[in-house]
Structure 1
Amino acid sequence: MSEIWAKSVDEKNNNKIVTLAHHVSDVLKVFEFFKKKFSDNQFILNAVEIAIFFHDLGKVLPSFQIKTLGNIGYYPRDVVYEIPHSLFSVFWINIDKLKEKLNSEKYLNYIISAIAYHHWRDNFDEIISLENKQLKQVCEKVIYEWKEKLKENLVKEFEKLSGFDEYKELIDINMTWLKAILNHRLFVNLAVPPYKFDYHPLRGEVKKEWIFISGVLQRCDHFASWCEEEGAEEELENVEINAPEREYIIKAISSRIGDNAWQFKELEKCSAKNTILIAPTGYGKTEFAFLWSSGEKLFYTLPLRASVNNTFERAKNAFGCNKTGLLHSDAEVYLLDKNLDETGSIKLYELSKQLSYPVIVSTGDQFFPYALRPPGFERVFVSLSYSRIAIDEIQAYSPKACAIIVKFLEWIHKMGGKFLLMTATMPKFVIDYFKDVIPDFYENVNSINIYEKEKDAFSKLYKHKIKLNLIKTKNEQFEIPDEMVREILQKAKNNKRILVILNTVGFAQSVYDKLKNNANEQLKKRIFLIHSRYTLKDRENKEFDYINSEFKNPKTENVGKILVATQVVEASLDIDADVLYTEICPLDCLVQRMGRILRRYIYQNNEVVNKSNNEKFNLDKPFRAFEKEFQNEPNINVLVFNNENLQSGGQRVYTKELINLSLAWLWKVRDNQSNLGGLLDKTFQQEFADNGVEEFFRMEFADLILVQQNNKKKGKKGKGENKESVYNSLLFSHDWLAKLDQVEIELSEYDKYILVTLFYSTMKKDGRYLKDFYNTLIVLNSGLMSDKKSEAEEIFREICSVQIIPKNKFEEFKKDIQEFIKTIEQSGENKKMLFTQFKKDVLSKHIVMHFYLKDLEPVYNKLTTEIEIDNKWKRRLKHWLSGVYLSYNFVYDNEKGLIRAEKKESKKDSFII
């Protein structure tokens, strides 16, 4: 017989062979540790064990042994006939005997599917759904030449495994299926894949048991393979690292927030349930999420990488460094930068990718695209079936992404996992959807609304006073007026921290320039800029400096400074400033931006506490923090530009619907706070159809605009049908904007909550924003499944972004690559860390993310024409630099980030965060 290899691992230049029996044994050992998470369904666990035992039988194929693994002594000798080994595995199982053993054809189909597709490849479609020449040739070779020898190889190989005799006797040639392929039967009709919507058997809902069997097989197989490749089989037991005890977490959190904090009081009611938490910014939602995990596995997601890194550091303090993982696109670079132990950093990142840590902090795009169920979704779904997932700042996602998130959470609920939604500004349509899809919603989901629980206190706490500023523009050019620039600089000179948030990078850069050009030499050093169009290295340095130093919460020093930024500082970043100047944005975003201002003032135990000096104020009467700090001057200045789009991003950033409705509601509340509660009650009494929304706006906003009878079609319609739409007038007419200029509005913390709720509750479903949300759900509910994970990620992000190297960085980039190659060649390479090291030492210093552009040149092509590289490095660089382009339209400035090469920037040149 010929020994069957499962892997040929190049470890420190010495070939390490892992036989098939050894690999299956390792996967079964991992399963023994993993299945402790499940004890309620022994039948499914048995099905998983069977799938693990048979999953790699197809590696008996000669071409896989000789060509793929280099097992040159293998017999039969052949390298011509090949198909993916996972598909070949199903031809070596005695289906009839297995069916008898299971006494269930349903579970038989699940097992066969899990085995055949545990390593899905992009080319599987052409093999399984069409008559495939290669597949037929392999079947012929087995039937007429190889069958006895390959069966002998398998039987002898599995004799090395002790026990499992009942499974070994099922290893046999499946002649029925081999002949079926030769008789024009499609493979897809023998083994149904769980990834294709157009396959009839899956037009119904994919079964939970199917997901479970496939997902556990994938988790165990991937983890065993990682241990084997690392030469660390002692790690097999760490497929699921034990979570810290609940008491440990409570002690760590209580040392930070105190034993009597609201988080502990609320936890008693919801620790065993799905939970929706609505609480003000800076109110300790993160600590609540840590406590809510209750000693179970926790996935904690946030929208932005900077806030993920920050929360990861906080999570380590709560759960322990050896219990906390990190996942985002550049996590390994961040970990290497923070940890001198390179091996430890890579292990931490790999264990995070394996989902092994009991706490994993990540960006949402690492998980939510799996709502589209691309290949490998079962691995994530099964992991979340026994876990908890916390979603922070759901309002920060686009309506399409939000629809994908709620669909993802619907799946997690079906699988048995639990979710926690947290935000200061919860969109009502999200809760409405959950009420429709989660049976017995009020029994299965606990809602905590801190605003309502502390209504009396939050109604008296005023941190912010808004001033609306209508700014005239010329030729669509966006510019802050000179008098406002002087105002900002003067406040900074008076030792105030100023935060300026603009909607596009181009506008942020121009405002930054204007402020610096008009500041004195001393203040110039304290004017900062941050946005998303920096290299990874520059942005991380700036984020660390600004968040942890210059604008750290709470403000303790009496030094004036200015931070100009885009939406990257809008949510989840714990910064504290005194005054905000912001472009108009949707109400929920505006509330998030306001949350960075006077963040040091918090409500705690029936008092307002200034964390800067621990000064306390009672709430027997309204407390106005802005009045104490600024003698009643506005500390929130909203800039509205008097042109078609009202803000610099046009409708690429925020739709006109969101902007105009936000302004209308701000006008409504200017001197009418006392009636907000009544309006909220009115909107919750009934679900508005769009005609109901129109009537509501006619009653509440008619005095904002001039509503006249449309006489053009007089006599053609019945009475009342020719009324001009107030809703549409607000969206498409700007005559009413003049009424907003210089309007000042005091908002309590409770007012902000009411405003945002009203804003979302009275939005038309056929408007652009909600239409995106509901249309996406219609498609998802129809059963859409994505063919590739990358495709699912693009749909979730809604952005076709590319990695570019600006033209003025190319020479430095070229030199860094040459230096990297030289260093590796001299020191000896560690292949397992080579790309990570390249990403850290080279790519992080030069690449900037941007929307897809024309006139891009693949940087690899340019590189290989200018420097001499041997073939080994050419192969590596071609792979590493795939999708990286050289741009001649942009240059890079270390201070300002990515800027256009042209001196003048037109409206079209402004680019979004």
Structure 2
Amino acid sequence: MSEIWAKSVNEKNNNKRVTLSNHVSDVLKVFEFFKKKFSDNQFILNAAEIAIFFHDLGKVLPSFQIKALGNIGYYPRDVVYEIPHSLFSVFWINIDKLKEKLNSEEYLNYIISAIAYHHWKDNFDEIISLENKQLKQVCEKVIYEWKDELKENLDKEFGKISSYDEYKELIDVNITWLKAILSHRLFVNLAVPPYKFDYHPLRGEVKKEWIFISGVLQRCDHFASWCEEEGIEEELGNVEIDAPEKENVTKIISRSIGDKAWQFKELEKCSEKNTILIAPTGYGKTEFAFLWSSGEKLFYTLPLRASVNNTFERAKNAFGCNKTGLLHSDADVYLLDKSSDETGSIKLCELAKQLSYPVIVSTGDQFFPYALRPPGFERIFVSLSYSRIAIDEIQAYSPKACAIIVKFLEWVYKMGGKFLLMTATMPKFVIDYLKDVIPDFCKKVNFVNIYEKEKDAFSKLYKHKIRLNLIETKDKQFDIPDEIIREVLQKAKDNKRVLVILNTVGFAQSVYDKLKNSADEQLKERIFLIHSRYTLKDRENKEFDYINNKFKNPKTEDVGKILVATQVVEASLDIDADILYTEMCPLDCLVQRMGRVLRRYFYKDGEVINKGNNNKFNLDKPFKAFEKEHSEVNVNVFIFNNNNLQSGGHRVYSRELIILSLAWLWKLKNTQNSLEELFNKITKQKFNNNEIEKLFTDEFTDLISNRQSSGKKSKKSKDENKESVYKYLLSNSDWLKTLDKMEIELSEYDKYILVTLFYSSLKEDGDYLKDFYNTLYILNSGLMSERKVEAERIFRDISDVQIITKNKFEDFKKDTEEFIKSVEHDDKNKRLLFTQFKKSVLSKYVVMYFYSANFELAYKKLIAEVEMDNKWKQRFKRWLSGIYLSDKHDYNYDKGLIKINDEDKEGR
């Protein structure tokens, strides 16, 4: 008889040996928490407990004990015959007696599946879907040589567990299944996997009970394993840290927003319901989400890391540092930067990864890809079943990502969790889909629309006056005219904060250069640039500086300055500018960009307040904030008169979105009455393509017929315009001249109406919505991703990779050599090595860029040029996986990534 180990002896747990009985007991201790969460369904709890008890039986395999764990005294001795231990576990369950105990064939299948696939590997498919030689050899070995000895090992080991007697008769060699494999039966026919679209049982609706059993097993197993590896078994009870008291959170938030704020009024109606919140930018949506959590577990998601980090700091103030977790790809570096306690910072990061905190602030890509149900989705879904999730800024995602998000929300609803969807500019097609998939939508989802509730006030509040500027340019050549450059510089000299937003990195860099080259020496020092093609360290430094210093909201100083940016500032940086110069973009994005201008003016309790000087203005008549700032026009929009209309072409925004945005701006300017009647008509129903075509014929024929063009129009062309105004607008540009120098005053309510009309008038077969509905069709057909990384790629819909520029490689190499020396000299904590390397080296050199087949793998060059032992070579092979070297770019702190001898016209 031999002792069965569950974990290898290593430095992490102070060389402590964790036996299989220790591990199963630990997992059962963690499970005690979930008994409280699901106390109303004892049958599921019993099934989950059985799955936990049996999940690691397969570790009895000799090769796993000796070869994988280093248990060299183990018998029988063998290192040749091996299969994944989770698959091997099912051969040690007495299926007949388990079926008898459960009295359910269905639940038997759920338990077997949960056990077999609780550690899914990429090579599982070739083992379970085909006749596998190794699997047959192991089965044969068990039947004819090992069965008695392995059974004796299991009995001895599990006999140490207090609840062993309850399950003793269920642990036995499963000769029937072993022989079935030898008789050419496939493993997949014994244990149905949950991660493959190909398998018929999962093409239909996945049963919630299946997800609960697998998810609880995964949560408990992962957390117990982490505690064991860290040598902190006393933390087993913290798999779910208690949420802060609802009353305490309410008290803290009321101190900052007042106990009569709109958030408290609305909360009375929706604290126990799924909720959709539409409110202007800077209007306190975050505080509403914190209050809406109502003392339950809260996941709060945003699209960008900068906004996630900012919200995390706010959440800590509301909920407490020991109740709030941070989750994104560089959270470990951020937390390490904020604290001198290295071990404590990593623990904070790990607790967030384990989903243990009652409040977790995260980027959306940490959760939404699980809508594709990759391996491990059950642990996320089961956590959502007793939690609340707030999704902020949904308009910032691509149509494909939006489709995945609404599918994810459908799953949240099915699992019994609650969602809060909030934004300033809600796409109507998102609401339409949720109405289709949530029965009794109006009863189960509360709709809070601050624009409508404060319609009278928002109709009188004007923060922005825009001017459309048509710029003549040759196709694919983009430049800001010199007179506009001079105008921007003059505004800064007049002590204005000027924000310039371009749609691509390359264009932003060229405009930045032009401004710097034209500015006097004093102003040059107050011209700044921000975009996505900086290293993590440089971008964080710039964002922190702009948020907390140069463009801090509210503006309080009287110093002119210029910030040139891409759309990274739309929904992440809480900055306050006086004037905006921007390329044309879709209406919802334009509204977000305008939200960075005069951000210090906000509406509260019947008054407009300037946070910069605390001046207050009543709204008994229209209030125009831009006039208070001595600026007639404070939003200047550039439209390039070529096929693309904007520097990114269709790669950044589709022509369809740009054209329809311009058309609706024209409509607002040229309508005889307000757009409310049209708004009320179009939002009460879902328009099909024919109805949208009629809408455009009724509302936009004048835009086409009044266009400035030479020559007379034939009767035929008039008729064609009447037949398809929508198509004409998209395929012709001559009508754009009508828009040049057009000025439009926009109330806050106008913005809401415009964006709603814009999204409501998109055709389903147009470029934008086609992506959304095609993605939903595929998801609803049962698409499942076999790997988490593949699900993340589909969600992000990007081909970016990490690169290090050749001009920085020598510095990178030198810092890497210094890092190796420091580790060997100081004997750093091995658990922190990768995080330390990310923080001190990678964060200074790695930039995101489009993948090229000509890129060289960074680790190959590093290993070739730096002397190191095999252990370090293996580390860098892992750490630098997917990081490339580029000789087509340079990098500097001022401008970021620069494409050599060719302007970079892509990216944000």
Please indicate the TM-score interval, normalised by the length of the shorter structure: over 0.9
Q: 2: CA distance between counterparts of 1:114 and 1:19?
A: 22
> Residue 447 of structure 2: SS of its match in structure 1?
strand
Match of 1:898 in 2: 897
Deviates more, 1:862-871 or 1:152-161: 862-871
Does residue 886 of structure 2 align to residue 869 of structure 1? no
Look up the match of 1:589.
Answer: 589
**Are 1:253 and 2:248 an aligned pair?**
no
> Does the CA contact (< 8 Å) of 1:709 and 1:724 recur in 2?
no
Distance in 1, Cα, partners of 2:437 & 2:98: 37
Name the amino acid aligned to 2:271. S
Distance of 1:525 and 1:671 partners within structure 2: 43
1:12 positional shift: 5.8
Deviation at 1:572, TM superposition (A): 3.7
**In structure 1, distance between residues paired with 2:866 and 2:253:** 55
Tell me if 1:703 matches 2:698: no
| Structure-2 residue corresponding to 1:556 | 556
- Asked whether the equivalents of residues 392 and 423 of structure 1 are also in contact (C-alpha less than 8 Å), the reply is yes
Name the SS for the 1:785 alignment partner: coil
Q: Which residue of 2 aligns with 1:486?
A: 486
Matched residue, 1:838: 837
Alpha-carbon deviation of 1:569?
Answer: 0.5
Counterpart of 1:639, as a letter, is F
Match of residue 691 from structure 1:
690
Structure 2 contact 12–229 (Cα < 8 Å) conserved: no
Distance between the aligned counterparts of 2:884 and 2:539, measured in 1? 20
1:533-558 deviation per Cα after TM superposition (whole angstroms, max 9, x unaligned):
00010011011111121111111111
Q: Counterpart amino acid of 1:794?
A: R
**What is the 5 A alignment of 1:11-22?**
11=11, 15-22=15-22
Amino acid of the structure 2 residue aligned with 1:741: D
1:782 aligns to what?
A: 781
Q: Does 1:201 align with 2:196?
A: no
Look up the match of 1:187: 187
Shift of 1:725: 1.2
- Residue number in structure 2 paired with 1:634: 633
Please say if 1:340 is aligned against 2:335: no
Is 1:911–2:906 an aligned residue pair?
Answer: yes
Inter-partner Cα distance in structure 1 for 2:163 and 2:24: 13
CA contact (8 A) 1:807 1:890 kept: yes
Contact 1:579 1:635 in 2 (8 A): yes
Aligned partners of 1:508 and 1:565 also within 8 Å: yes
- Which amino acid counterpart does residue 243 of structure 2 have in structure 1? A
Provide TM-score, normalisation by structure 1. 0.98
Secondary structure at 2:171 match in 1: coil
Contact 2:701 2:725 in 1 (8 A): yes
The letter of the residue matching 1:802 is: V
- For the residue of structure 2 that corresponds to 1:98, the secondary structure is helix
Post-superposition offset of 1:711: 7.4
2:820 corresponds to which residue?
821
| Alignment partners' CA distance in 1, 2:243 and 2:324 | 9
Deviation sequence 1:494-552 (CA, Å, 0-9, x none): 11111111100000111111111111111111111101100010011011111121111
CA contact (8 A) 2:458 2:749 kept: yes
CA RMSD of aligned residues (A): 1.5
Contact 2:181/2:187, CA 8 A, preserved across alignment: yes
Specify the SS of the correspondent of 2:629: helix
2: CA distance, partners of 1:684 / 1:340: 53
1:677 aligns with 2:676: yes
Kept in 1: contact 2:701–2:722 (CA 8 A) = no
Encode CA deviations 1:780-813: one digit per residue, 9 max, x unaligned.
0000000100000010000011110011000000
Aligned counterpart, 1:660:
659
Mapped contact 1:709–1:722 kept (Cα < 8 A): no
Counterpart residue number, 1:329:
329
Task: Give, in whole Å, the separation in 1 of the partners of 2:573 and 2:285.
Answer: 13
Aligned to 1:117: 117
Equivalents in 2 of 1:553, 1:712: separation in Å? 55
Residue aligning to 2:84? 84
TM-aligned CA deviation for residue 574 of structure 1: 1.5
Aligned counterparts, 1:432-451, within 5 A = 432-451=432-451
The answer to whether the Cα contact below 8 Å between 1:710 and 1:724 also exists between their aligned partners in 2 is no
Is the counterpart of residue 768 in structure 1 residue 763 in structure 2?
Answer: no
Q: Which letter does structure 2 place at the counterpart of 1:4? A: I
After superposition, the C-alpha distances for 1:287-318 in whole angstroms (9 at most, x for unaligned) are 00000000100000000010000000000000
The DSSP-based 3-state class of the residue aligned with 2:638 is: strand
Deviation at 1:13, TM superposition (A): 9.1
Q: Residue in 1 aligned with 2:709?
A: none
Q: Distance in 2 between matches of 1:397 and 1:710?
A: 43
For residues 382-437 of structure 1, the C-alpha deviation after alignment (integer angstroms, 9 at most, x for no partner) is 00110000000000000000000000000010000000000000001100101100
Q: Is the 8 A contact 2:240 2:358 kept in 1?
A: yes
Q: 1:507-546, aligned counterparts within 5 Å?
A: 507-546=507-546
CA–CA distance in structure 1, aligned partners of residues 284 and 14 of structure 2: 52
Report the CA distance shift for 1:723/1:703 in structure 2 as closer, same or farther (over 3 A).
closer
- The TM-score with structure 2 as length reference comes to 0.98
Closer/same/farther in 2, CA of residues 639 and 439 from structure 1, 3 Å limit: same
Report the secondary structure of 1:185's partner residue: coil
Q: SS state of the match for residue 729, structure 1?
A: helix
Which region of structure 1 is more displaced relative to structure 2, 678-687 or 315-324?
A: 678-687
User: How far apart are residue 339 of structure 1 and its match?
Assistant: 1.0
For the residue of structure 2 that corresponds to 1:362, the secondary structure is strand
Cα deviation, 1:637-657, whole Å, max 9, x if unaligned, reads 001111111100010000000
SS of residue matched to 2:161: coil
In structure 2, what residue type is equivalent to 1:376?
G
Residue 854 (structure 1) shift:
3.3
**AA at the equivalent of 2:550:** E
Uncovered stretches (5+) of structure 2, i.e. residues with no partner:
707-711
- Quickly say closer, same or farther: Cα 1:171–1:672, change in 2 above 3 A: same
User: Equivalent residue for 2:408?
Assistant: 408
Question: Equivalents in 2 of 1:239, 1:9: separation in Å?
Answer: 23
Q: Retained in 2: the 8 A contact 1:673–1:751? A: no
The residue type paired with residue 557 of structure 1 is E
Amino acid in structure 2 at the alignment position of 1:41: N
In structure 2, the partner of 1:391 is: 391
Is contact 1:462-1:625 (8 Å) kept? Answer: yes
1:172 is matched with which residue?
172
Give, in whole Å, the separation in 1 of the partners of 2:885 and 2:675: 53
CA distance in 1 between counterparts of 2:381 and 2:776 reads 19
Instruction: Determine helix, strand or coil for the equivalent of 1:448.
Output: strand
Give the counterpart letter for 1:426 in structure 2. Answer: M
Matched, 1:153 2:148: no
Deviation at 1:722, TM superposition (A): 9.1
1:14 shift after superposition: 5.1
Deviations 1:110-169 (A, max 9, x none): 000000000000000000011000000000000000000000000000111123311122
Alignment of 1:15-414 (within 5 A): 15-414=15-414
Local SS of the residue matching 1:637: strand
How far apart are 1:475 and its partner, in Å?
4.7
- Mapped pair 1:881 → 2:866: no
Whichever residue aligns with residue 814 of structure 2, its letter is K
Is the 8 Å Cα contact of residues 820 and 838 (structure 1) preserved in structure 2?
A: yes
Q: C-alpha distance in 1, partners of 2:83/2:637? A: 62
CA distance in 2, matches of 1:129, 1:382: 28
Q: 1:163 to 1:685 in 2, by over 3 A?
A: closer
* Helix, strand or coil at the partner of 1:784: coil
Please give the secondary structure, in 2, of the residue aligned with 1:539. helix
SS at match of 1:506: helix
2:502 aligned residue: 502
In structure 2, the residue corresponding to 1:675 is in which secondary structure?
Answer: coil
Q: 1:687 offset after TM fit, Å?
A: 2.7
The gaps in structure 1 that reach 5 residues or longer are: 715-719
CA offsets 1:244-288 (integer angstroms, 9 cap, x no match): 000011011111101110000000000000000000011000000
Residue of structure 2 equivalent to 1:717? none
| 8 Å Cα contact 2:475/2:643 also seen in 1 | no
CA contact (8 A) 1:147 1:173 kept: yes
The one-letter amino acid paired with 2:788 is K
Letter in structure 1 aligned against 2:314: R
Larger mean CA deviation between 681-690 and 187-196 belongs to 681-690
Give the CA deviation at 1:864. Answer: 1.9
CA distance in 2, matches of 1:886, 1:203: 43
